[in-house]
């Protein structure tokens, strides 16, 4: 069928939902494909806060699947959401970060051979400052309780001891975005599930239709526990990280022998490296993972399926240092064309320098401490003279009389 790039509706649906952890209201997507016979319209939103890291490669592979299935994909650069997330940066800085994110996303998709003609970028403030949108925020705030709003944003908005009101507005805006972007579905990480449920429960009360929601798994960070996050430098690898820095971070990553459940490196292979290989070769199930293992530990080895690799690590036939060698080389290979393109872009350089300016170090003049030279150094006008010999004799005589 033309609107699904030659795929049947079942094949298109399977590709759209591939590798997702959960899909809510998937029947809405099926109805668009089978009954309305048109492309599925969906959006993925990202708040331009910290620098783009390798965790973003997971949603990028899904954007590639959506585009391949003929979907109309919108990327929301949520500048106002970034501004509301505990006021991380002023709006003028956030604007440069939005451009930084756009250029990074385009470079990533281009590097994995994904056509981006049907990809549309929308800056949140282009419609979120309208009177209609503002009125809907008021209407929605009259339906959602404080506790519900706080709970919805708990996994997305940074939690602090004395939260700002902005953290409650954030999930309301994300719920409304799918109506104002006129989409059939919203895609995001499983950490946004509570916001998706908030939208499903409350948008119909405003007279708006219910949407489908698709969630990809969160790639664990390099440290033990938690997701790969821009706010934790040790947990993530930037999309423009240099090879030496990648190697250093991977070498310090948590990777216990035989542990396949809490292993960020294996998750990265499963949810990033394998899907990208399939996209590049346009072949389902394509997988090849090479490890340049030292000869004294068995020499180079190649795995042709992720399950084979996972089982070898579980059985401790593959050691953590060897797995780290393979992941380091694979990441550097993925990042090389992205780094090359972005470094040659004056637009990217400007967005990077203005969006993430180097912190200015305050120079404090060192106050010279006055040395304590003691009382008897040469030239001291205030030094006490040694008592004269006659005075000493007089004191001794008085002491002698006192004894008598």
Fold observed for domain 233-354: Tyrosyl-Transfer RNA Synthetase (1.10.240)
CATH T-level assignment (fold) for domain 2-216: Rossmann fold (3.40.50)
- Enumerate long-range contacts of 57-60, CB under 8 Å, 24 or more apart: 57/108, 57/272, 57/276, 57/334, 58/189, 58/216, 58/217, 58/218, 58/219, 58/271, 58/272, 59/187, 59/188, 59/189, 59/216, 60/105, 60/108, 60/109, 60/112
**Using CB atoms within 10 A of its CB, is residue 368 exposed (0-12), middle (13-18) or buried (19+)?**
exposed
Residues 78, 70: Cα–Cα separation, whole Å: 24
pLDDT of residue 153: 87
CATH 1.10.240.10 domain range(s) in the chain: 233-354
Tokens of 377: 């150094």
Q: Is the Cβ–Cβ distance between 22 and 215 less than 8 Å?
A: yes
pLDDT value for 387: 54
β-pair type (72-77, 185-189): unpaired
Pairing between β-strand 185-189 and β-strand 41-46 as defined by DSSP bridges? parallel
The rounded distance, in Å, linking the Cα atoms of 136 and 68 is 34
* Nearest in space to 23 (alpha carbons), one of 157, 145, 144, 200: 200
* CA 70 to centroid of chain Cα atoms: 27
Q: What is the pLDDT along the chain (404 residues), one digit of tens a residue?
A: 678 988 999 999 999 999 999 999 999 999 999 999 999 999 999 999 889 999 899 999 999 999 999 999 999 999 998 888 755 678 888 999 999 999 999 999 999 888 888 899 999 999 999 999 999 999 999 999 999 999 998 888 776 777 788 889 999 999 999 999 999 999 999 999 999 999 999 999 999 999 999 999 887 777 665 566 555 666 789 999 999 999 999 999 889 999 998 888 999 999 899 999 998 888 888 899 999 999 988 899 999 999 999 999 999 999 999 999 999 999 999 999 999 999 899 999 999 999 998 876 656 666 666 665 555 555 555 555 555 566 656 656 666 666 54
- CA 215 to each of CA 18, 149, 363, 368, 404: distance values in angstroms, whole numbers, following the listed order: 10, 20, 48, 61, 104
Where along the chain do the CATH 3.40.50.620 domains lie?
Answer: 2-216
Q: What is the pTM of this model?
A: 0.82
Q: What is the Cα–Cα distance from 324 to 4, expressed in whole angstroms?
A: 39
**Residue 220: what pLDDT?**
76
């Amino acid at each position: 069928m033309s609107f699904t790039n030659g795929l049947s509706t079942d094949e298109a649906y399977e590709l759209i939902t591939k590798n997702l952890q959960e899909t809510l209201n998937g029947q809405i997507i099926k109805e668009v494909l089978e009954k309305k016979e048109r492309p599925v319209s969906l959006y993925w939103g990202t708040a331009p806060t910290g620098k783009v890291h390798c965790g973003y490669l997971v949603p990028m592979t899904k954007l590639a699947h959506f585009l391949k299935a003929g979907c109309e994909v919108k990327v929301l650069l949520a500048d106002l959401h970034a501004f509301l997330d505990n006021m991380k940066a002023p709006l003028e800085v956030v604007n440069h970060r939005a451009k930084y994110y756009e250029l990074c996303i385009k470079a990533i998709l281009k590097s994995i051979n994904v056509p981006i003609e049907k990809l549309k970028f929308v800056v949140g403030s282009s419609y979120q400052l309208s009177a209609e949108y503002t009125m809907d925020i008021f209407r929605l705030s009259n339906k959602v309780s404080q506790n519900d709003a706080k709970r919805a944003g708990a996994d997305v908005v940074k939690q602090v001891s004395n939260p700002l009101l902005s953290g409650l507005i954030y999930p309301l805006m994300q719920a409304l975005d799918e109506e104002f972007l006129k989409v059939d579905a919203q895609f995001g990480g499983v950490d946004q599930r509570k916001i998706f449920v908030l939208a499903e429960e409350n948008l119909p009360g405003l007279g708006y239709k219910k949407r489908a929601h698709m969630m990809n798994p969160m790639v664990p960070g390099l440290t033990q526990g938690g997701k790969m996050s821009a706010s934790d430098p040790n947990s993530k690898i930037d999309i423009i990280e240099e090879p030496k820095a990648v190697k250093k971070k991977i070498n310090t990553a948590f990777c216990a022998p035989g542990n396949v459940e809490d292993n960020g490196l294996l998750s990265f292979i499963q949810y990033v490296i394998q899907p990208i290989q399939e996209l590049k070769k346009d072949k389902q199930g394509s997988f090849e993972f090479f490890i340049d293992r030292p000869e004294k530990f068995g020499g180079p080895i190649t795995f042709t399926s992720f399950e084979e690799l996972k089982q070898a690590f579980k059985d401790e036939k593959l050691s953590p240092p060897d797995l780290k060698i393979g992941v380091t080389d694979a990441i550097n290979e993925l990042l090389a064309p992205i780094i090359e393109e972005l470094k040659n872009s004056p637009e990217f350089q400007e967005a990077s320098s203005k969006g993430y300016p180097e912190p200015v170090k305050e120079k404090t003049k060192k106050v010279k401490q006055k040395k304590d030279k003691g009382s008897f150094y040469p030239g001291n006008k205030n030094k006490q003279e040694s008592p004269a010999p006659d005075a000493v004799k007089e004191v001794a005589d008085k002491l002698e009389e006192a004894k008598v």
